[in-house]
Amino acid sequence: MVRKLWIPFFFALFLLSSCRTEFERIRTSNNPEQIYEKSMAYYEEGEYVKAQTLFELVLNSFRGSAKAEELAFKYAYTHYHQASYLLAAHYFENFSNTYTSSDRREEADYMRAYSNYLLSPVFRLDQEYTEKAIDQFQLFINTYPNSERVASCNEIIDESRAKLEQKRFEQGKLYFDLKNYNSAVTSFENLLKDFPETGNAEEIRFLILKSAFLLAENSFYELQAERYEQALEKYEDFRKKFPSSQYRSEARDMLNQSRAKLKTFSS
């Protein structure tokens, strides 16, 4: 009985050993053609680690040949399939710069941008790769305006810009919560300049007004008159844009308080 239980184990061990032996035999064969053929087979089977290892052995051997292009393209993809997106972006860019006339160049340019998009973290973290992805997708659209991938590029750009907008909005809110009202005004106003299509314009303009009012209220006496005047300007901007705003009652209170304060300076 015990002997029968060991038989499947040894059979599985034999198969595993045979697979390893085949890979090692190919890897150490010093036969570029054989390594090339097996690397492509591993790639098609989804064995990307093995394929990548063999690709690296023969990339230089086939330089200048038709096989070199396919090797370089699939080598970039082995990094992508292993979620090594930074390296994937690098090698897709390398491919695009090397094989400028290739039919695969459009796909490589798209995958370079897409790899950077996949590196983009949650909005609270640094958005370097989000910005890179936006720039590269826009470049792709400009370079290949008739590509079927343009719709996907536009969707990802919109999604990425929404993430950048959210980060900028939260930065402004942080300044406001920390009572750094001057920085809050600047941050929110820059947000509106950079994202004029934002769906949060009403709240942002209200927070600009409130930040300007609280800045005036908490300023040294000699700065208050000028800053209450600025608060009145922010109120007018807000009222013109959103005359029926849900914040209009609180906005009018700040207007009245600002006017009352300014009267004390002129009396």
Residue 60 belongs to domain spanning: 20-75
Phi/psi for 147 (5° steps) reads -70, 145
pLDDT confidence of residue 27: 85
52 in any annotated domain? yes
Reported as half-sphere exposure (CB side, CA atoms, 13 A), residue 130 has a value of 19
* Residue at a domain's end among 171, 187, 207: 171
| 9 belongs to a structural domain | no
C-alpha of 74 from chain center: 24
Last residue of one domain, picked from the residues 52, 75, 98:
75
164 and 94 both lie in a single domain: yes
User: Has residue 159 been placed in a domain?
Assistant: yes
Spatial distance between the Cα atoms of 246 and 243, rounded to a whole number of angstroms: 9
User: Does the residue 15 lie in any domain?
Assistant: no
Please tell me the predicted confidence (pLDDT) of residue 2. 45
Q: What is the pTM of this model?
A: 0.83
**Regions of the chain with pLDDT less than 50:** 1-2, 5
According to the model, what pLDDT value does residue 13 have? 54
- Residues with Cβ within 8 Å of 53's Cβ and at least 6 positions away in sequence, in order, are 27
How many residues does this entry show for the chain?
267
Q: Output the pLDDT for position 10.
A: 55
Q: What is the pLDDT of residue 124?
A: 87
| 5 found inside a domain | no
Instruction: Say what the pLDDT of residue 189 is.
Output: 98
Provide the number of structural domains found in the chain. Answer: 3
